[in-house]
Amino acid sequence: MRDEVVKYCETISTESHLGITEIIKMLGIGKGKYYQWRLRLGTENNHNGKQPKQHWLTPEKRQSIIDFARSYISTNQYYLHDDYRRIPYMGIDANKFACSPATVYRVLSKSGLLSKWKGKRHSSKGTGYRQPNEAHKEWHTNIKSERQCVIINRGDTERNKPDSCTSRT
């Protein structure tokens, strides 16, 4: 829509010999807004989108860092721990990429190459209690009463024994 308005204003001004400022006033568009639109003529709208900066890594550079690190891992060890600091300088020497160790760390950690333990840890937290499949598969006892029974059995006195301990000897 922005491009259409700019082109419309330019065609009307050339056909009618009116100035651009007069046409803009008739359309109700601000002069500054029209000239901003004219500067962005032919580009698509990025509403609050990230504008790529000159120092950002391209996807090709990210992939070259990952590939270089994988080749280093396969020849030296099975994971990278502190070697992410060496990889940028080795990449510069090999003429593959040039970036800081912090950038290499971010790229490799997002790709999962820095973790010693590959894959996710599976936790049973939040899944609830799993009931046993068969009877007598799992027993739960009261530790306090078991300890009392053990202490009483060590003393070898038959008096003062609780009823729960009399069957066990």
Q: Is the pLDDT of residue 57 over 90?
A: no
Residue 129's pLDDT is what? 79
Residue 63's pLDDT is what? 93
Average of pLDDT values for 136-160? Answer: 60
Could you tell me the two tokens for 100? 């800081």
Find the distance separating the first CA and the last CA of the chain, reported in whole Å. Answer: 93
Banded model confidence at residue 77, pLDDT cuts 50, 70, 90: low
Q: How far apart are CA 63 and CA 101, in angstroms?
A: 16
Residue 80's pLDDT is what? 62
Q: How far apart are CA 110 and CA 63, in angstroms?
A: 12
pTM of the entire structure? 0.42
Residue 119's pLDDT is what? 52
Could you tell me the two tokens for 6? 């700019």
Residue carrying the six token digits 């202490």: 151
